[in-house]
Amino acid sequence: MGCRDVHAATVLAFLSGTASIAGLLAAVLLPNWRQMRLYTYNKNERNVTIYTGLWIKCARFDGSRDCVIYDPQWYTAVDQLDLRVLQFALPLSMFTAASALFLCLIGMCNTAFVSTVPNVKLAKCLVNSAGCHLVAGLLFLLACAICLTPSIWVIFYNNYLNRKYEPVFSFDISVFIAIASAGGLFFTSVLLFLWYCACKSLPSPFWQPLYSHVPSMHSYASQPYSARSRHSGIEIDIPVVTHAS
């Protein structure tokens, strides 16, 4: 299938971008960014684990799924710098990735439903399938950087809290989900860049459509009979008669 058609690379990029955004949404909503485990030496009491998320905080006894203390207003009083940064970084990363996914969908629809022979006016426009996929790849890469940097910082900040207070802090599953989603965003951007580099003709401008030049309408018309007769194997010599004055 040609580069002007929707093929496996763009479809796989779209699916990968959708799965990565879903993973980011799960990481944002889950209250499992940091655990603080409190031990007791009293045999009549149970240990308590405090689950800290970006928006809520929940305290549970060991062996119980019910929250003994549930704080839905935790997002207004977050006292940990890494979680405060994540409150802004992850929604921004999701918005950037969603914009890239929308551009990728526009590029796929353009390659699927637009004629292979470009319009002269459309070819001069900057909005085309190649440009959409290129910008989408850049936005996916930006969303990956916005998500990955603060997510990795949580691991180092967790070690800082253990050194500053007591070794009772540990990062939870949301950190791994966010890092995996950032890897999915990076994989999506790489797919779009590979599609662009493989299908973009090198002599053409960097931002223009896939076509290196606007084809002339004469190139699609049938050649005249005189041009086709030159390819014939029979040669006919016609004598030229001149009249002397």
Domain ranges of the chain: 8-32+78-112+124-199
User: Strand 34-38's sheet: what is its strand order?
Assistant: 69-71, 57-61, 48-52, 34-38, 169-171
pLDDT digits (tens, 9 = 90+) for 132-187: 888 899 999 999 999 999 999 998 988 888 888 878 888 889 999 999 999 999 99
Of the ranges 32-46, 74-88, 228-242, the best mean pLDDT one: 74-88
Report which listed range, 95-99, 171-175, 220-224, is most confident: 95-99
Provide the pLDDT for residue 90. 94
Full-model pTM: 0.72
pLDDT at 3 exceeding the cut of 70: no
Q: What is the pLDDT of residue 65?
A: 76
Using alpha carbons only, what angle is made at residue 213 by residues 210 and 218, rounded to the nearest 5 degrees?
125
Q: Kindly state the percentage of the chain with pLDDT values over 70.
A: 69
Per DSSP, helices labelled H in the chain are 8-29, 81-113, 120-123, 129-164, 173-199, 225-229
Most confident of 5-9, 18-22, 190-194, 199-203: 18-22
Whole-angstrom Cα distance, residue 200 to residue 204?
A: 8
Q: How confident is the model at residue 94 (pLDDT cuts 50, 70, 90)?
A: very high
pLDDT of residue 111: 67
Q: What pLDDT, in 10s, does the model give residues 227-237? A: 444 444 455 45
Beta strand pairing call for 48-52 and 169-171: unpaired
> pLDDT tens for residues 47-59?
888 888 888 888 8
Q: Share the mean pLDDT of the chain.
A: 76
Nearest to 147 by CA among 196, 176, 181, 197: 181
Q: Is the pLDDT of residue 117 over 80?
A: no
pLDDT at 218: 40
Take residue 164 and report the two structure tokens written for it: 């500053």
Whether residue 195 contacts residue 115, with contact meaning beta carbons closer than 8 Å, is answered with no
Which pair of structure tokens corresponds to residue 43? 């045999």
Q: Give the pLDDT band (50/70/90) at residue 40.
A: confident
pLDDT of residue 152: 92
Q: Supply the pLDDT for residue 184.
A: 94
